[in-house]
Structure 1
Amino acid sequence: MTFPNSKTYILIVAICLPIFAESLNPPIITSTSQLQPNSKRYTPFFAMDRKLKTSWVEGAEGEGIGESLKIKYKSPISFRSFSIYNGFGDPKLWAANNRIKKLKISTEEGNEEIVTLKDSLSLQMIEFKSELRTKEISLTIQEVYNGTSSENTAIAEVVFNSEQAGSALIPPKNTWAIGKWKTKSNIARIQLHNDGTCEMGYETAKMLCTWTEKGEKVIVSLEATLPLTNTDILEIKRRGNPSDPILEINGKHEFISNRDGV
């Protein structure tokens, strides 16, 4: 990843809406195939285990076109949308593996819809034309974005947005560091989402990451080592006046509030 040689960079920290639900109706999750079927590393359960860094990975020959996740609830659920984290949830493995471009969603009642997903690890919410009510749902791979070193296709997390269904993630609180910041340090823009994912850099050179709160700090895990810091872990801490704070990166790189509209 190469950053521009400009002296001024922007740190943008943004909130996305969290997803909350109670696990009132836990599903049985199966799949038509699984990478390394004799191991427990890539099981279909990992597509709804509330953890981004574990993922279901299909195990068919080729790109996984036609392979499916099958979700079966004990009691019917009603939903008009579902949320998905597309691809392998660990940012260090995300680009290496295939991600889904087109996904077919079908129910046992015969409802069927094909949706196009973005090539991003961040949370995506898909709205349906009308409310669906069912006990069994299939998610079938129709087309993929190709990985850099593997033909395997992965799903990190799936949530059916329903009061009757189990949830995928309870995101970090993200209680601070909201707004625009700048620095003379050679660290590029970063955007933190309230689902625990983030992106760092610019559209032409963007790095995926995940983050968590740890006391007074936010710990960011990058998919590759950042040359300036020589690490793939960033510690972001807020200090100073709450109304005019400073963000500290790894104890030495400082971001100040940006009033220039850059």
Structure 2
Amino acid sequence: MNLRNFKSTLLILSICLPLFSESLNPPVITSTSQLQPKTKKYIPVFAMDGKLKTSWVEGAEGEGLGESLQFKYKTPINFRSLSIYNGFGDPKLWAANNRIKKLKVTTESGIEEVVTLKDSLSRQVVEFKNEIRAKEISLTIQEVYKGTNSENTAIAEVMFDSEQAGSALVPPKNTWAIGKWKTKSNIARIQLHNDGTCEMGYETAKMLCTWTEKGDKVIVSLEATLPLTNTDILEIKRRGNATDPVIEINGKHEFVLNRDEV
């Protein structure tokens, strides 16, 4: 084995091991195309590697209509729904790339259903008309929400909600961060979801973000610089008591629980 092949093998193992550890029935994942720039990878397995910031991106000319991801399991799985993170998982690149509007789901037994996805990075659960049993599943792009700077269409993460399939995506454990927060003056708001995605701001001026854990802190990655902090990275730490919690952002901005309905 030459050095190049050895490095390629290590890369595949590093990508697939998290998936294998969560499922005894890992699928072989392929695609009709993939974006192949010189410095980065957007391979099919990135759509099921448990990491939001790595994504599969189709590589056909145009908007990627008709391009698909294929999942082939060793033994059949039963599922009534699938979970998907639509578009590129890195919030800085989400709006620039296309997101899927209509997705066709097909199986080797001839089952076919077209579903409509929301234009959102947060987890979406798609319910099917009937329970599906399949070994081979294809997800085909039918229509897209257009990106601002690119015609490429991406999927950050997809999971078939099935005990036989398993899941590689591990939700954050810092449950204290989950929920709605705002400054006391209500000049800024942030909402953190239990799937590792979040939004900063209001419906009319909302900024996407993702969050991860770092010890007793939470690190938020924003899609753009936040004027309040003059940075696109937020470090959040919890203070206060259980009944009246406070979070401290970047060591100086204090947010309290946002108990407003809207």
Q: How many residues align?
A: 242
Partner of 1:156: 156
Partner of 1:54: 54
Counterpart AA for 1:210: T
Q: Which runs of 5+ in 1 are unaligned?
A: 1-20
TM-score w.r.t. length of structure 1: 0.86
Partner of 1:114: 114
Distance 1:178 1:99, change over 3 A: closer
Partner of 2:223: 223
Distance 1:49 1:200, change over 3 A: same
Separation in structure 1 between the aligned mates of residue 29 and residue 259 of structure 2, nearest angstrom? 50
Can you list the C-alpha shifts for 1:166-198, whole angstroms capped at 9, x where unaligned?
A: 313011013214555442467522111111111
Separation in structure 2 between the aligned mates of residue 180 and residue 49 of structure 1, nearest angstrom? 28
Report if aligned partners of 1:87, 1:99 keep a CA contact under 8 Å in 2.
yes
Report if aligned partners of 1:217, 1:238 keep a CA contact under 8 Å in 2.
yes
Write the mapping of 1:174-189 to structure 2, written as runs, cut at 5 A.
174-177=174-177, 181-184=181-184, 187-189=187-189
Report if aligned partners of 2:35, 2:57 keep a CA contact under 8 Å in 1.
yes
Separation in structure 2 between the aligned mates of residue 38 and residue 259 of structure 1, nearest angstrom? 48
Can you list the C-alpha shifts for 1:117-173, whole angstroms capped at 9, x where unaligned?
A: 000000000111111111000000000000000000000111001111131301101
Can you list the C-alpha shifts for 1:88-139, whole angstroms capped at 9, x where unaligned?
A: 0111000000000000000000000000000000000011111111100000
Separation in structure 2 between the aligned mates of residue 62 and residue 120 of structure 1, nearest angstrom? 22
Counterpart AA for 1:41: K
Partner of 1:137: 137
Q: Sequence identity of aligned pairs in percent?
A: 84
Report if aligned partners of 1:73, 1:136 keep a CA contact under 8 Å in 2.
yes
Residue 63 of structure 2 corresponds to residue 63 of structure 1:
yes
Can you list the C-alpha shifts for 1:17-51, whole angstroms capped at 9, x where unaligned?
A: xxxx9312000011111111787601101111111
Structure 1 SS opposite 2:22: coil
Report if aligned partners of 1:22, 1:163 keep a CA contact under 8 Å in 2.
no
* Superposed CA RMSD: 2.0
Separation in structure 2 between the aligned mates of residue 52 and residue 201 of structure 1, nearest angstrom? 21
TM-score w.r.t. length of structure 2: 0.86
Which protein has greater RCO, CA pairs closer than 8 Å, 6+ apart? 1
Distance 1:190 1:246, change over 3 A: same
Separation in structure 2 between the aligned mates of residue 259 and residue 79 of structure 1, nearest angstrom? 36
Runs of 4+ residues over 6 Å off in structure 1: 37-40, 259-262
Q: Which runs of 5+ in 2 are unaligned?
A: 1-20
Can you list the C-alpha shifts for 1:218-262, whole angstroms capped at 9, x where unaligned?
A: 111101011121110111111123322222111111123457878
Separation in structure 2 between the aligned mates of residue 73 and residue 125 of structure 1, nearest angstrom? 21
Can you list the C-alpha shifts for 1:40-91, whole angstroms capped at 9, x where unaligned?
A: 6011011111111111100111000000101100111111111000000111
Write the mapping of 1:1-262 to structure 2, written as runs, cut at 5 A.
22-36=22-36, 41-177=41-177, 181-184=181-184, 187-257=187-257
Structure 1 SS opposite 2:50: coil
Separation in structure 2 between the aligned mates of residue 122 and residue 144 of structure 1, nearest angstrom? 17
Separation in structure 1 between the aligned mates of residue 261 and residue 60 of structure 2, nearest angstrom? 50
Counterpart AA for 1:203: E
Separation in structure 2 between the aligned mates of residue 126 and residue 98 of structure 1, nearest angstrom? 19
Structure 2 SS opposite 1:176: helix
